Amino acid sequence: MDDRALVYRGADQPDMSVINPESDVWQHIKAYSPISVRLYSRDMELSNQNVLHREVLPSQVVILSLVDNSLLTIKLHLCGSITFNGIISAPSAVRMLSWMIPTAQKQLGDPVDDLAVATVLMVVGGQLILLRPRKSANQEVKYDMQIFADRIEFCWIHLRGIGTLENSLWGYDGQGIRVWLNALAIESLLQREKDDDEPENSHLFLHHILRFLLGNRQVKEAVTFASHYKELIYFSHALEILLHTVVESEATLESESDSEDGEIAPDAVLPTVVEFLDHFDSALDVVVGCARKTELTRWKRLFSIVGNPKSLFETCLASQRLKTAGSYLLVLHNLEQLDENNDDAVRLLQSAVDGKDWQLCRELLRFLHSVDDTGAALRHALSKTNVVNFIDDDSLEVGLHASISP
């Protein structure tokens, strides 16, 4: 019966009639080739002799829909094809298949060329896969595959979002919703094909989501989320923005309230943010980077939570994070926690010499010269370290002479 349409005329039968193909309420109509749509009168018997109109269609009909007095048909027209060998092993594993076409192609392009520029999105066996097109030297279209996630049950795309939600990709993995912002920036990808050296526009979003999670005391969830992005070169910068935003916002709220200076409100987010930062190796850099961009009046509250800057300096020195220790040295200087002999600076200078970090040596020499115009601090440091043994090194010599010159 694959070549027949079964039509049930319910108006001729009682309401409780059972639909049965053997019943006389069914009319079997042979579907002849070519494909056609036939119109019959509802008041006449359904037979080939009573056809009011016959419309021959050039291709297979996928969907028929009657809207008021209009009959809408969706037909298939082959414009091209893509082979997914190596990606789709079994058709039944495909749960979703979609594509995104650039705006310029939609408005001005020929539909036949859609395949050459379309970004294909699919869910295969629980894997969320994105295929980005690129043309080879002989104009052959190939696809770069990117797997976003596993165990995805359903996903959808958001091409016309608000702000950072534009071009976002959303997926549900059975436990929660996962979001990839700007994942479908197909316009910028096409532009980048023209100039590989042109950077793709991007917007920082991590600190917004992390602040929301930490505001709800979801530290574990925030750590899990952030861990997916910790290899990015701007990850530490995003954490620094998070810390700086919270420090400034809570300081503003405190100034507008009657709370005592330094008192931490019960609903303060800063302690939770610091707890979150401790899960990442860049925490010490993030804290000192935030402090150097924050007013001195905020430092008391910040370091009351993250720890004494002197202890943080010692931690950096012990772990050979000398550049970070140099940043904490400036913090100690501004807080007037350095002794008159600048022993902390001298110890850091010796470690920089031992590690042959001449750039840091030059910066420390300039620092010692700036804190004591008489040059006593600089002479004391030179006498306590073996930096003079490397005076013949051209890179250090220039810095040293610049530091001790009047």
Residue 39 pLDDT > 50, yes or no? yes
Q: Which residues contact 16 (CB under 8 A, 6 or more apart)?
A: none
> Helix axis angle, 358-371 relative to 322-334, nearest 10°?
10
Q: What average pLDDT does the structure give for the chain?
A: 77
Residue 84 pLDDT > 60, yes or no? yes
Q: Which amino acid, one-letter code, is at 215? A: G
- Please give the pLDDT value at position 279: 95
Give the separation between CA 328 and CA 174, rounded to whole angstroms: 45
Q: What is the pTM of this model?
A: 0.51
- Lowest-confidence region among 33-37, 47-51, 390-394: 390-394
- Please give the pLDDT value at position 289: 92
Q: Is 404 helix (H, G, I), strand (E, B) or coil?
A: helix
Q: What is the pLDDT of residues 273-289, one digit of tens each?
A: 999 999 999 999 999 99
Q: 6, 48, 184: which is closest to 103 by C-alpha?
A: 184
Residue 406 pLDDT > 50, yes or no? no
3-state helix, strand, coil in the chain (%, to 5): 45, 20, 35
- Please give the pLDDT value at position 335: 87
Q: 154, 149, 161, 206: which is closest to 185 by C-alpha?
A: 161
Q: 387, 355, 354: which is closest to 368 by C-alpha?
A: 387
Tokens of 256: 């507008």
Q: 295, 304, 215: which is closest to 261 by C-alpha?
A: 304
Q: What is the mean pLDDT of residues 314-324?
A: 91
Q: 237, 123, 134, 240: which is closest to 190 by C-alpha?
A: 134
- Lowest-confidence region among 7-21, 113-127, 170-184, 347-361: 7-21
Q: Mark out the alpha helices in 61-163 (DSSP H runs).
A: 103-108, 114-117
Give the separation between CA 47 and CA 40, rounded to whole angstroms: 8
Q: What is the pLDDT of residues 125-153, one digit of tens each?
A: 889 888 888 877 777 788 888 888 888 98
Residue 186 pLDDT > 60, yes or no? no
Characterize 296-334 residue by residue with b for buried, 16 or more Cβ atoms within 10 angstroms of its Cβ, and e for exposed. eebbebbbebbeebbebbeebbeeebbebbbbbbebbbe
Give the separation between CA 333 and CA 311, rounded to whole angstroms: 14
